[in-house]
Structure formats: structure tokens, C-alpha cells
Amino acid sequence: MAESDSSDSDLLWYLEKLGRKECHSLRNLLGQECVELGLPPIPRLELSEEKPDLANQLTTSYEAQHLWNLMYNIFHKIPRKDLCETINARRNRNKEAHKILIKKKLQGERCLSNRIHDIFCQDMILELVGKFDFVFRHVSLEASKALNVFLIGQQASGKTMVLKGALYEWVSGNIWADVFSYVIHLPSHDINRMTSSSLVELISKDWPEGQAPMADILSEPQKILFVLEDLDDVDLTFRISPKALCTDSRQQLPTPVLVASLLTRKLAPGCRFLITSRPQGQAVTWNLMKKTDTLMTLSFSREKRQKYFTLFFRDGQRAEAAFQLVQKNELFLHLCQAPILCWVTCVALRRQMDQGADLKRSCQTLTDIYTHFLADTLTSEAADRRPRVPLQSLCSLALEGLLHNTLHFTEEDLRSVGFSQADISTLQTLEILWPSSHLKDHYRFIHTKIQEFCAAVGFMLPLAERGIPSAGGRCKGKRELYDDFSAVIASLLGLLNKKRRQTFETALGCRLRTDYVSQYLLTEMRGFGDNVKAIGHHTPLFHGLFENQEEEYVKRIMDSFLEATIYVRDHRDLMVSSYCLGYCHRLQKLKLTIQNIFENKSNEQPTPRVLCKALSHPDCQLRTLKLTYFSVDIRFEDLFKAIVHNRNLTCLCLSCMPISLKVFSLLHQVFTNPTCSIQHLSLMKCDLEASAYKQLASLLICSKNLKKLTLSKNALSRDGMKIFCDALFHPNCVLESLVLLFCCLTLRSLSLIAKSLVLTETLKHLDVSVNNIRDNGVLVLMMALVFPTCSVRELEISGCFFTAKGCEYMVYVLQNNPNLQSLELGSNNIGDAGMELLCGAMRHPNCNLENIGLEECMLTGACCAALASVLSSSKTLKKLNLLGNKLGDEGIVHLLEGLAHPDCVLRTVGLQPPSPLAITILLSMTRGYDAYISFG
């Protein structure tokens, strides 16, 4: 298995197989092959004639992998293909030996005893493993030189399970069969324990007696995958001088230099990296990430949560009730970002359902969830069949662990707080403690949040002082440096609520000491009131007060503050801050910083950097990107650079944000790039300035793909409209659709647009709805549409305040412009008189109208006979919208007669709900008629 275990790993063994002439050829070829492989050649005259000396000379001159690649090439040219086959056989044997080692390591790994986890996590693992396989197989030439794939996920989101799943699929031959020969696992806790090492030692640590076949492993570095697990937990600096980096795999290096040399590919050039991290380590991730790298996020989406709830409850009604409760509570929604915390939440909610409680009242805060979870778990049937787990020991372990930066415990630690071996077994069965996935013979709480809650309970119990033996005994990663007790304090404040405290005490048969804790927190808060700088910002405190929800207590604490600083980073912060500010009766000064709360409420919204990486990824299938209230900063520029490389993106919407010259410059770069595929640009409600029209005109002329432009809800200045409209009939302009809804258009502006309609050859769709153009404005537009050069097929003028007079101007166009196919006239006072005029025009043989929108046009049943005649005579009209008009049953019956006519081609019609009698008539008259009738 190891290099020293077989004679075919000994260079002298190979040299002894060579004849005299072959040895002579080897010496002659050695210099040339060294040059081809980029190795320093040994002068021909210095090469020993004796085979043992030559073997020793070559072995000491070159690293093993270079030496064997050198020998393989020479043996192939001598030719001694039998020796090449021997080397290949050895290499293949070592590859299989490596897989056997990994398979043994994976065997016996903990499988979740909870069946729901097994089912759910298996599907999640297979999905991501498939993505890994695709990413590493489909690599560009540039990226292949040093590809890093980053997998980002919250604590307990399943990163380790996914890695193990990928390794299992690889050793089973299901993925990466011809991509990777070796997968080297580099967990953060191993890296943190090292002070120095060589690459040879780093790779050999998992091989028997530390003897790895380094020559074969490093002979094809491009087929090595390094798995760096938990980058955010690595206690290293990555700011290493390039001069310190090393290329010799045998050289002992300080651990930061060794890792940096690998990541920069000074060592094992061409190798690939799969790196996992929590979002908290994003600063290091961004520093390491290159443009050619890939980033994947492991998020627990709404769909996955819903599937989990369905699997857990197995009762659709219960599952939906629990799921909706979580979806409507920002704190619960954020809690359920990981499968295990979803399980905790489900256990708590199921307990309340079983007890017939009203979920909305019994489960409002995180304290409720943790209380009901512990109550259910420690008093379950599994617990009843075993010795009762001492609550004091559990809370002592949690509290001592946080106080001493310990999240992974030895059995000695567990015994030191009073647990017996039977207790340890019970805690695992109850899914309160798990074996550590990183440290052998260690245990941890199923999640840090459970440890924090138990620690808070520990503050309220009479605990004996007990130390944790391993607290100072091992090197710890960044994650175990616990210095933020805000979650513990929040749970403390939650347990000060009388109702929640009584629930906990009753279920677990204990009594919590609250008087001291309550008074201590009040005293501390008053101290912060006198020294605002000491608290930094108040958001963590507000989370705690929201957990408490004792109005008098919250008011007493909030009355301590005359000033408050609040950071609102998400909707949780917004919710708790809104609650607490309601009790700030003495507040005189408020500093409020808000970020990201105008984005999608899903809490899974990626950061701009992640979005940039996703948009520029070749597999991104995004078609439409909408940015609302987006701040224009450096990240915005990065976003536009990413947009350039996305060939699938066809629609870009920028809303409610300033469009400065800088933004237009970025837009220009995007739309003039030959790889840009964007066809629709929307700049809604962007307060466009006078300078914007020149920039818009430039975009229209320079872009070869821009087919649709939406400028709705901008007060368009008439002074800049001429420049803009001139661009519409420029020969390079390819715009087909222009949307100017609610743009405060004047007659002068409309005249400029009308001129463009006559001269442009490409514009097919115009929407000027919700502009006060009245009858005169309709006349201006119709004068343009009568020209044979006008190519407009679809016109939307809904909500434009015109009357039947405007319909008079439309008649000539409908009768003489065969291009016009769609006309939206809704929300105008057309009336029956205007409708009669339109019906006469639509019956004309030259009218090719396919759609007409007449919703809310003050129509009555008096015009329905004329409309029915249109339905029976028109050869083109397929869609008619009459919603919002009081046509009455008699009028609808007239329309039904038209619909039932054998020559009617209408397929979709919108009507107000008729009476039962009219519906009966409808059914009888339209039986067998293939049309969609919508009742508003």
C-alpha cells in the first residue's frame, strides 16, 4: 500500500532491469527530459556509471513525483514499455489503496438516528453531490489551472454531511471517476493543531505509519482534490509574502506558509480545492476567491423547509399549521435555516399540538421553542425508559463550556459535571448530544443554540462549581472562542417571563432563581443608560427584551436609555426594534442604521458578492434581475461586471434608485459588450434627470440587443425628449417596445413620440397608459398611426382621460392600418357612443385587430348588440376584455349570441359576473364552444 512496501517503488529495482545499452540511452535522454519537465538537469559527465550510485544520485536530486515522471518518460522512449506498465500498475494499486483508506474512515460515521433526518438529508446530499460532479467536470481551461469551489452554509446546514456524501460517491465510482485520483481531507482542527509541516507529512498523516506513496500522488497534481473543511475556523493569517512561498513538497514550513503555498499552487500546481465555510468567514473567502472560482451556497429554502415539516408531522394539516406559524415569525424563520433546528422547532410545536394548545399564543418567542423542546425531549418515552438525565449536569456542562471556550467535550468532561455512562447514552438517544464530527471521542450539543439556552438555565439553577478538564488542554479553532453572550442573555430575559418560567419549571420539575438575575440585569442596564458607548448598539438587548415580553419589565429597562443606536440588518432586527421602541418613552436620540431589509424577506438572499459570482457563473440560468432600492457602491460595479458575462440574462430592472452618469456609464459598458444578451431594460421610478435623455439615446443607438425599454413612473422632461425621440428612428436603434406608463407626458412630448412612430422601422409596441393626454393626445397618436411607414402593432392608452371623441380619431386608423393588432383602452370614459364607433371600425374588412381591452370604460348593455355583431363578423379578434362594465344580463345575452355564432373566432373574453339566469343561458348557448370566459 505504501511506497516502501513493494520493490516496484525502488528506483534501483528498475535500473537493474536495464541492459547496458539501455542504461546508456537513459543517461543520454536524461538531460533532454529534464528540460521538457522544467527540472534542473544533471550534467552528463557527473552521472554515475554504477546503478546503485545512479539511483541514489537521482533520488537525492529530484522530488519523488518528478523523478518517477522523468523515469516513466525515459522508459517509454528506450523503449521499455514493460517498466512503464509496472509503474502504471503500481500507481493504480495506490489509487485503489487510497480509496480503501477513505472507505474505512467513512465506515462507522454517525448516521442520524432520527429517520426524518435520514430521508431529508440523503436527498439534499445527492442533489449537491451532483452539482459538485458537474462543476469539477466542466471546467474552463483558465479555471482548470487553479480551481477553487467554495461551499458556504450556516452552522449545522449539512456541509460536513455533503462532503462525506461526496467522498462516499467518489470511492464508490459514481462521481469524478476520471477527474480525481486522490482526495486529501484537510479539516480545520488538524490545521489548527499544526505549527509546521511539509506537504509530504500533511498528505501522509492518514496513511499507515505515515508512509504515503508520494511519488504517485503528486505525479499528477491536477488529479488531486484538497478538501479544506471549515475555512472560517482556521486560525491562520493568509497574508503571506510571495517570497515566503515554497515549491518543495519535502520542506518543513510554518503552517500558514504551507497552506498559502497550496492555495497559490506553488505546491501541487494544478490541484483543485473544495473549501467549506460559514458565512461569518466571508472576508477570508472573498480574499481567496478568483474570478474563475465557483461559489455554492447551502441554504434551507422555503420549499425544503416545507418538505421537512411534511416529513416530520406526516399529517398535512398539522404540517401546514406549523409551517405557516414559522413562515410568519421572523425569529422562527431564521431559526429554521438548518435541518437540525427545524427538527428542534417541530418537536416543540408538536408538543403544543399534542397538548391542544393554541400555537399562536404558546409559541411566540425562541424561549418558547427551546423550553418546549427540552421539556419534550427530557420527558419523552425514550427518557422514561432510561434513568432521568440530571438537568443540573446538562446546564452545568453547557455553561462551563461557554465560559471556557469549549464546544466539544470529552467523556471525562461529561463525568466531571455528574453524568454517568448511562446518562451519556441517553443524551445521544434523545438527540441532545451528538458525537463530534471533527474530534474523535468527543461530544457536542446538537447545536450551539441549545447549548446557549441550557447555559442560560444554568445561571438560574444552584450549580456547584465544576471545571471542565479539557477546557485548556487542546488547540481550538476560531469557532470555540466564545465571546458573545447576547444569545444567553436573551434566553435569560425570556425565562424571566413568568408564564414561560412556569412552563419550564412544571415540565422539568425544577425551580429557577429569578429574583437575583432580574435585579442584576436591571442594574446593568441602568449602568448602560448612563454610558451609552459601553453597550455599543442596542439591537442584541432588544432581542432579549422581545423574548421577555413582560411589559412592565421591558418599560423599566427601556426607561434607562435617553439614547439608542440600532442596527437593522434584517427583518428580525426590524421586528424586535419596533417592539422595544414602543416602550422608549424617555428616548431623546435615536441612531438608526438600516441595511438589506428592502430585499427579499426570505433571509436566504445572497450578499451582493455572492450574487455577482452566481450571475457570472456559466451555469446561471437567471433571465430577469430586479434591483430595488439598491445602493450604488463598489459592489454595484462588480454586479454590472458580472451581468456582462451572463448570456442568459435578458431583462434588467433598476427601480427606486438614482441613475447617475456613473450608472449610465456602467449600463453602456454592459449593453455594448458583445456577450450581453439583455433585451429589456427597465428604469422605473428612478427620478431621471435632464442629463439622462442623452445617455438613454446613446444606449438605444449603441445596443444591438435592446428590444424593450421601460421608463414608467418617471416625470419625463419635455426638454430632453427630443434627443431621446430622435434616437428612436436612428438606423442603429433596434427598439421594439417602449413603455412610458405614468410619465407625466405632455402634448409636446407626445408629438415627438408620434414623429418617431412615423420614422422608426422597428418599434412595434407603445404603452403611454396613465398619462393625461385626453382626446387631443389620442389625435396626435392616431395621426402617426395612419402613415404606412408606422410599424406599431400594439398600442396601450389605458387611463388616459379620453372620451368618445378620441374614438372618432381611432376609426380611420382601425379601417386603414392593417398592422395594428392590439389596442388597450381600459379605464377611459368611452361610453356606449364611443363603443359604437369602434364596433363600426372593427367590422371593416381591413381591420386586423386581435385584442382589444375595454375594462372600466363606462359601457352598458346598450352597446352589446354592436359588440355581438363584431364577434360574429370579425375574422381576427381573439381576445376581448369587458371587465368592470355594467352590461347587465340582457347585454351579456347579446354577447353570448355573438360568441355562439359559428364564425366567431374569439378565444378569451372577460366579463363581470352575470346572474344565475345568464349563466344558464351561457352554458346552453356556448356548449361545445372552445373559448375561455373569465368573470371578474
Range with lowest mean pLDDT among 420-424, 549-553, 656-660, 740-744? 656-660
Integer Cα distance of 181 and 744 in angstroms: 66
- 407 grid coordinates: 464546544
pLDDT at 171: 93
3-state class (DSSP) for residue 651:
strand
Question: Which residues neighbour 829 within 8 Å (Cβ) at sequence distance 6 or greater?
Answer: 801, 802, 803, 804, 857, 858
Integer Cα distance of 866 and 872 in angstroms: 10
Entry pTM = 0.62
Q: How far is CA 10 from CA 98, 355, 418, 732, in A?
A: 20, 73, 56, 72
Q: Where is 184: in which H helix or E strand?
A: strand 182-187
pLDDT at 465: 77
Range with lowest mean pLDDT among 21-30, 383-392, 434-443, 788-797? 383-392
Q: Where is 765: in which H helix or E strand?
A: strand 765-767
Q: What is the mean pLDDT of residues 687-706?
A: 91
Integer Cα distance of 349 and 370 in angstroms: 10
Model confidence band, residue 273 (pLDDT cutoffs 50, 70, 90): very high
Instruction: Name the phi and psi angles at 934, rounded to 5.
Output: -105, 130
Of 689 and 121, the one with more pLDDT: 689
Q: Is pLDDT at 2 greater than 50 in this prediction? A: no
pLDDT at 536: 67
pLDDT at 723: 92
Q: Is the sign of the CA dihedral 161, 431, 413, 399 positive or negative?
A: positive
3-state class (DSSP) for residue 739:
strand
pLDDT at 532: 60
- 866 grid coordinates: 354592436
User: Torsion angle, CA of 574/578/584/585, rounded to 10 degrees?
Assistant: 150
8 Å CB contact between 898 and 925? no
3-state class (DSSP) for residue 796:
strand
Integer Cα distance of 631 and 621 in angstroms: 25
Model confidence band, residue 718 (pLDDT cutoffs 50, 70, 90): confident
pLDDT at 156: 84
pLDDT at 926: 52
Which amino acid makes up residue 426?
T
Model confidence band, residue 439 (pLDDT cutoffs 50, 70, 90): confident
pLDDT at 4: 40
pLDDT in tens, 133-190: 888 888 887 777 889 999 998 888 888 888 988 999 999 999 998 899 999 999 998 8
pLDDT at 121: 73
Cα angle 505, 510, 516 (rounded to 5 degrees) comes to 85
pLDDT at 934: 56
pLDDT at 107: 77
**Domains in the chain, start-ordered, CATH in brackets?**
3-98 (1.10.533.10), 110-298 (3.40.50), 303-498 (no CATH), 514-594 (no CATH), 772-936 (3.80.10.10)
pLDDT at 196: 94
Q: What is the mean pLDDT of residues 70-96?
A: 94
Of 520 and 881, the one with more pLDDT: 881
Integer Cα distance of 64 and 891 in angstroms: 93
* Distance, first Cα to last Cα, the chain: 76
Q: Cβ of 417: how many Cβ atoms within 10 Å?
A: 24
Which amino acid makes up residue 493?
L
Mind giving me the DSSP string for 461-486? S-PPP---GGGGTS---GGG-----H
Bond into 213 cis (ω within 30): no
Integer Cα distance of 662 and 817 in angstroms: 43
Separation of CA 815 from chain center: 53
Separation of CA 134 from chain center: 18
Q: What is the CA radius of gyration of the chain?
A: 37
pLDDT in tens, 586-635: 766 666 565 554 444 444 443 445 456 545 656 555 577 777 666 665 55
8 Å CB contact between 76 and 44? no
pLDDT at 109: 57
Model confidence band, residue 537 (pLDDT cutoffs 50, 70, 90): confident
Q: What is the DSSP letter of 42?
A: P
Among residues 305, 315, 316, the alpha carbon closest in space to that of 339 is found at 305
Tell me how long the chain is.
Answer: 936
pLDDT in tens, 383-419: 455 556 789 999 999 999 999 989 999 999 999 999 9
Q: Cβ of 226: how many Cβ atoms within 10 Å?
A: 21
Q: What is the mean pLDDT of residues 771-792?
A: 95
Q: Is pLDDT at 908 greater than 50 in this prediction? A: yes
Range with lowest mean pLDDT among 825-834, 872-881, 920-929? 920-929
Query: Chain-wide mean pLDDT for the chain?
Result: 86
Q: What is the mean pLDDT of residues 419-426?
A: 90
Three-state helix/strand/coil letters over 690-706: CCHHHHHHHHHHHCCCC
Q: Is pLDDT at 496 greater than 90 in this prediction? A: yes
Bridge-based pairing of strands 563-568 and 589-594 is: parallel
Integer Cα distance of 202 and 323 in angstroms: 46
Of 529 and 72, the one with more pLDDT: 72
pLDDT in tens, 624-665: 777 766 666 555 677 777 777 777 788 888 888 788 888 898
Q: Grid cell 417592539 — which residue?
A: 579
Kindly provide the residue ranges of all beta strands, DSSP E only, lying in 221-379, ordered along the sequence: 224-229, 253-254, 272-277, 294-298
Among residues 342, 238, 351, the alpha carbon closest in space to that of 285 is found at 238
Q: What is the mean pLDDT of residues 842-869?
A: 96
pLDDT at 620: 54
pLDDT in tens, 26-39: 999 999 999 999 99
pLDDT in tens, 309-345: 998 998 999 999 999 999 999 899 999 988 899 999 9
pLDDT at 57: 93
8 Å CB contact between 564 and 535? no
